[in-house]
Structure 1
Amino acid sequence: PFMARIIWYSGFKEVKKKDWEKATDIYEVALKWDPYEGGLYYDLGKIFMERGLYNTALKYFKESEKYFDLRGLPQNLAIVYLAKGETDNAITELKRAISYQLREETMPPLYNELGNTYLKLEKYELAETAFMDALKIDPNFVMAHYGLAGTYLGQNKIEKALVELKKVVELAPDSEEARYARDAVQKIEQTKLEAQPAENDK
């Protein structure tokens, strides 16, 4: 195990240089010295995830899980599952990642990702709950307001969506989300104006 740790450290130096292939080779040598070191499997998983090799990353993360329960593991598994389009597995891991957090302040991005995943599945009520959970912790979390607007639009709750879209513009006026929000607000307001004469003719 001691020799494995020395080799592991030399691999970490290659990771810092982003020389993924060299780091991978070094970590594989370290594993030969200690095949039960979960942290090595975890670090290899992160390297393969960084390289976009998600099936290989998943294999190493799952191997890591046998020996090592690291707080960052569920979040990285969720990223891999999302990249592979395995949304049900991603949802399970995102929930686990939230439960692994020691401080509430680190939870909003995870709730937001959970909300976005539900939103893609058109599970609007579950998405709404996830975004609201993020906003309970950080009321000014722009991405959660943006996601919440999406859930309201999906449910045809136009007035609620407008409130959230305007909040995005207020909180982050120069962001890409604000640009989309402004466009959406403009289209909604235009649609409402066009609908008025038809209503008045009744």
Structure 2
Amino acid sequence: MKLSLCMIVKDEERVLPKCLGSVKNVVDEIVVIDTGSSDRTPQIAQKFGAKVHQFQWCNDFSAARNAALKYVTGDWILVLDADESLTQKIVPQLREVIHSEEYLLINLLRQELGAVQSPYSLVSRLFRNHPQIRFSRPYHALVDDSVTEILRQEPHWQIGYLQGVAILHSGYQKSTINQSNKHAKAQKAMEEFLATHPQDPYVCSKLGALYVETGKIAEGVDLLAKGVKIAGENYDILYELYYHLGIACSRLQNPKQAIVYYQAAIKLPIYPMLKLGAYNNLGNLLKATGDLKGAKTAYETALQIDPSFAAGHYNLGMTLKAMGLFIEAIASYQKAIVLNPKNADAYQNLGVVLLKVGNVQGSLNAFRQAIALHEKHNPEEAKRLRQGLQEMGLM
């Protein structure tokens, strides 16, 4: 089976080499649609053997992606953005699944590097080169609508997913979002789509979440609540709606209602890795409201799903410390540090707990690491911590 990579790009010379390098020994063809780059993006793509075509941007991602599909010759299509890369661990599974006869679409687990909230999402990025598969929606373009229609007409097809993280996505870094003005572009495109598709729960979820993120919380809550009413049994979308309603209620200082929404989200029958954000946020709220036992259970459940969830280990450590379970807290902080060695707060809280159990030297070592990390990003905290240790006679 021949596998084609299909992309749309514009001014991506900084990140494109990493993306294309991750697939150079995986795909048989690279098709790139350039929507008006002013940098070396087209030349870089060509160096990786890509067939580069031009497309006049019309504020519609689906139109651009569908234009790319016209040039694809492979049996299967993999879609990546320039700020994404394919993990090498997933390649054997990917090569195996495209030789199966029953699948029309394969969902891929994407890790959102730098995301403040949910660290994973499931994206429909690997699909058969079927003549009726097309992208829809001007922003957050996806093939799901056309796939649903094909399944009605050709019910022998199946939808599957690969086990493990397939795509690493760096686009959620704050600097990246601000630099590319992503929020404004997304809002404009989705508002235009909503005007003509007012009963679409997917756009209610995405636009509602964007409103909440950009401070338009009342508008966001109204749109998310509308989405819940019309989502039906579309559990993946329903999860996002409940999840973002939880975030909105937290920002409105309504933790009780936020907890209700997060609990509703985690009860839904969806891919467990997608629930990490809800479990983590639920734990944070339960801890803040004094339910330490409930918070501990939420964090532990998240870590059962993903033992490499660094934030979960740190938050569990904070809860265990508050419960007076210092030995267990030390273990959690140490796991958090192994997974994220740049977490100054983890070192700092580890130092506190080590001091409580009498390990003065270990505590000082942890505090020194915290100070060194704080000095790079938060010098005021480094100064405060150093002064505190001096007053205690520890430095």
With normalisation by structure 1, the TM-score equals 0.74
**1:104 corresponds to which residue?**
272
Distance 1:21 1:106 in 2: 24
SS in 2 for 1:18: helix
Cα shift at 1:123: 0.7
**1:18 corresponds to which residue?**
184
Cα shift at 1:98: 1.6
**1:60 corresponds to which residue?**
223
| 1:45 corresponds to 2:211 | no
Cα shift at 1:12: 7.0
Task: Give aligned pairs, total.
Answer: 182
| 1:166 corresponds to 2:329 | no
Counterpart of 1:30 (choices 160, 174, 196) is: 196
User: Is the 1:11–1:26 Cα contact (8 Å) retained in structure 2?
Assistant: no
Counterpart of 2:247 (choices 56, 61, 79) is: 79
Counterpart of 1:143 (choices 290, 311, 319) is: 311
Give the letter aligned to residue 331 of structure 2. Answer: V
**1:188 corresponds to which residue?**
353
SS in 1 for 2:184: coil
Give the letter aligned to residue 186 of structure 1. Answer: G
Structure whose residues are more often helix by fraction: 1
Cα gap change, 1:110 to 1:46, in 2 (>3 Å): closer
63-72 vs 86-95, which deviates more? 63-72
Distance 2:330 2:295 in 1: 17
Counterpart of 2:287 (choices 107, 119, 123) is: 119
Distance 2:275 2:138 in 1: 33
Cα shift at 1:73: 1.1
Distance 1:29 1:185 in 2: 52
User: Is the 2:320–2:328 Cα contact (8 Å) retained in structure 1?
Assistant: yes
User: Is the 1:122–1:154 Cα contact (8 Å) retained in structure 2?
Assistant: no
Counterpart of 1:95 (choices 263, 280, 286) is: 263
Q: Report percent identity of matched pairs.
A: 22
Cα gap change, 1:65 to 1:181, in 2 (>3 Å): closer
User: Is the 1:74–1:94 Cα contact (8 Å) retained in structure 2?
Assistant: yes
Cα shift at 1:84: 1.2
Distance 1:187 1:65 in 2: 44
Higher alpha-carbon Rg: 2
| 1:153 corresponds to 2:321 | yes
SS in 1 for 2:308: coil
Cα gap change, 1:131 to 1:46, in 2 (>3 Å): closer
Cα gap change, 1:106 to 1:11, in 2 (>3 Å): closer
User: Is the 1:148–1:164 Cα contact (8 Å) retained in structure 2?
Assistant: yes
Give the letter aligned to residue 279 of structure 2. Answer: Y
User: Is the 1:101–1:107 Cα contact (8 Å) retained in structure 2?
Assistant: no
User: Is the 1:24–1:47 Cα contact (8 Å) retained in structure 2?
Assistant: no
With normalisation by structure 2, the TM-score equals 0.41
Distance 1:139 1:40 in 2: 32
Distance 2:139 2:338 in 1: 46
Unpaired runs of at least 5, structure 1: 1-7, 196-202
Cα gap change, 1:156 to 1:96, in 2 (>3 Å): same
**1:3 corresponds to which residue?**
none
